[in-house]
Amino acid sequence: MATRISHDPRPQPPEQPGDDECCRSGCDPCIFDLYQQELQRYRESLAQWEARQAARQGSEDTAQ
């Protein structure tokens, strides 16, 4: 029976903008607002990925 290899890379955090990247003119959305939104999505994706890894590890442990 062939072993199925799952490709599930760990999510990568968004790159934080530098302080000099904000124009300070009250843009809506500001680059920092967009970063916070991306950071929240990253945290959610990371939590889901960690849950998948834990489930995968648990199923591998019971298969042995």
Render pLDDT for 21-60 as a digit per residue (tens, 0 to 9). Answer: 999 999 999 999 999 999 999 999 999 999 999 998 887 7
- Return d(Cα 32, Cα 9) in angstroms, integer: 26
Judge whether 31 and 21 are in contact, CB under 8 Å: yes
Q: 6: pLDDT confidence band, cut at 50, 70 and 90?
A: low
- pLDDT for 16 beyond 80: yes
